[in-house]
Chains A and B, each alone.
Chain A
Amino acid sequence: MASTFASRRAPASRRNRRRLAADAGLLVAAAAFVLPLAWVVLSALDPRASLRVKIPDGLTLENFDAILTPEITFTPLLNSLVLCGGATLLTVVCAALAAYPLSRFRSRLNRPFLLTILFATSLPITAIMVPVYALFVRVNMIDTMQGTIFFFAASQLPFAIWLMKNFMDGVPKELEEAAWTDGASSFQSLLRIVLPLMGPGVAVVTVFSFVMMWGNFFVPFMLLLSPDQMPASVSINDFFGNRGMVAYGQLAAFSIVYSTPVILLYVLISRRLGGGFALGGAVKG
């Protein structure tokens, strides 16, 4: 202890210098990373937005005014909400049910099942979208919200089960045993005891599934066809196609409106996560 203290004291000036160097390095990186973000914020407020970062020619909310219409913003966001909300609900319910026996009962099937789940977690979902499209055409599920919801849920489920099981392992079994002796069924003890005790864990799985789906472009792009069903992740491309001249200010404003929910949700759970490591395996396109 004493020697640690001494070594801490001696090179104090070198320590300070090193901290300054680290600060400088990080600030350079931050400046590089912030440029595209600055563009979207400044352009959204700029009446004459262009493609580069510049001081706005006066501040205005007219870009937001222009996009906050049912056709451009509200319908796609509602579609996103139905799609991602439905799929998240399905994912979380299925994951909680599946995690319970995996966490509570010993079985020789647990390990192979968990390994399969973990394997599926890291499969590139992008690769199977063409066959999924062909399959959905064949079984008449193409261009349906429910088909897309089912696929979304299935693609998110492996990781959700994995996370949920690990959170559930953290709830001591003894708490349930009392309920069992009182005659509660497994289902009752899952619902009344385990899930309430792992509330933060359930919140993380829910928010995480939702955020992943909200940002997903390829799945709805492939499985939905009619424009009135498109979620925001796909409809944002219309700023380039159908409306002629690209209104960059409006595109920026729409990007902000569309991104805000996931940023808020991320802030909400990031405190609970501590590091980012619980998210391992999850950032696949």
Chain B
Amino acid sequence: MTAATPQHTGPGPGPEVRKAPPGPPAPDPARRARSATTRRALFRALPVSPAVILLLLFLAGPIAYCVVIAFTDLQLTGQAEESFVGFENFRRAFQDEAFLNAVWLTLVFTVLSSLIGQNTLGLALASLMQRASKPVRTLTGGIVVTAWVLPEVVAGFLLYAFFRREGTLNAILDWLRLPSQNWLFTLPILAVSFANVWRGTAFSMLVYSAALNEIPKEVTEAAEVDGASGWRRMWHITLPMIRRSIGTNLMLNTLQTLSVFGLIWVMTRGGPSGKSQTLPLFMYEQAFQNSLIGYGTAVALLLLLIGSLFSVVYLRLLRTEV
């Protein structure tokens, strides 16, 4: 933040000297000074190089490779040479019912679990915590955060057990004399969405707790004295004051939800018959069960593009902080 260079200042001293006259080649003080500062700048940037090399080789490299093989018919096995097929993989995707189904389910999964579930529940918990007594606050916070800290696969198993026919949810429903059912079979996308809410709400809760703590007490108290009801205070005062946190939180939740794989894999494997198959699981199935690496990568590229879009929006939200 402090080290950011102002972008629109005029050409200053040092490396920004541009108008150095061409002049005689050897004893040019301007050029010598420039090469010295360049050398110093390079020397100073040296410590960045291990990170840059690692990022280029193992992050930028795969992304570039992703772009390339998304346009080929690369297969997992038994293929001498893959060939360039243009937009064939993408054309195929948009005619593939299973792909469209996966897009739809990804949308449902994201809206249900991230936008509605994690976000709203997180805000509700955070605002209740503002008023609750300390022991209750600590207890609830501890439980919700534990769900978040658990490894993804463990969370998957816990919720698999919870939603199974002979699991806890049906036990409770039986006890309440409500109809029970095999959730992972009848409504798998709902079950995995709830699982994602269970696992991810803590993050929203922490973000909103931090945001709510920053609202000055005087503001809410003034509104209270003026007789504004709880809901009106929430709508007209609290929400506008934390709107930046809401934006950030929605972006990060959505990005996280878009890349959920392990949780769904453990609970349903994307099934039954694709009823909980979001895009990451569809991509995996095409690439490894159907051996169509090229096609799977085309889907991956689409997912990456959606992710980048959200990422850019997120950057704009944070713009003032960089």
Contact = CB atoms under 8 A, between A and B. Distances in A.
A binds B: yes
B20 interface: no
A105 B154 CA distance: 44
A127 B140 contact: no
Contacts of A102: 3, 48
Given A50-B166, A52-B168, A283-B200, A110 B152 contact: no
Contacts of A259: 149-151, 154
Contact of B143 (A11, A30, A93, A263): A30
Contacts of B33: none
A98 B47 contact: yes
Interface size class of A (residues with CB under 8 A): 35 or more
Interface in B19-78: 41, 44-45, 47-48, 50-52, 54-55, 57-59, 61-63, 65-66, 69, 74
A2 interface: no
B128 interface: yes
B293 A154 contact: no
Interface in B255-304: 255-256, 258-262, 265-266, 280, 283-284, 287, 293, 296-297, 300-301, 303-304
Contacts of B69: 131, 134
Contacts of A53: 168, 171
B131 A19 contact: yes
Interface in A127-159: 127-135, 150-151, 153-155, 157-158
B308 A108 contact: no
Given A26-B128, A51-B167, A53-B168, A131 B66 contact: yes
Contacts of A262: 149-151
Given A157-B55, A277-B206, A29 B125 contact: yes
Interface in A229-280: 233-234, 236-237, 248, 251, 255, 258-259, 262-263, 266, 270, 274-277, 279-280
Interface of B: 1-5, 7, 15-16, 41, 44-45, 47-48, 50-52, 54-55, 57-59, 61-63, 65-66, 69, 74, 121, 124-125, 128-133, 136-137, 139-140, 143-155, 157-159, 161-162, 164, 166-168, 170-171, 198, 200, 202-203, 205-207, 209-210, 213, 217-218, 221, 224-225, 248, 251-252, 255-256, 258-262, 265-266, 280, 283-284, 287, 293, 296-297, 300-301, 303-304, 307-308, 310-312, 314-315, 318, 322
24 contacts: A4-B221, A29-B128, A30-B140, A33-B198, A39-B161, A52-B161, A97-B51, A101-B47, A105-B44, A113-B48, A122-B251, A122-B311, A124-B303, A154-B55, A157-B55, A216-B262, A221-B262, A237-B153, A255-B154, A255-B157, A258-B151, A262-B151, A266-B145, A285-B152
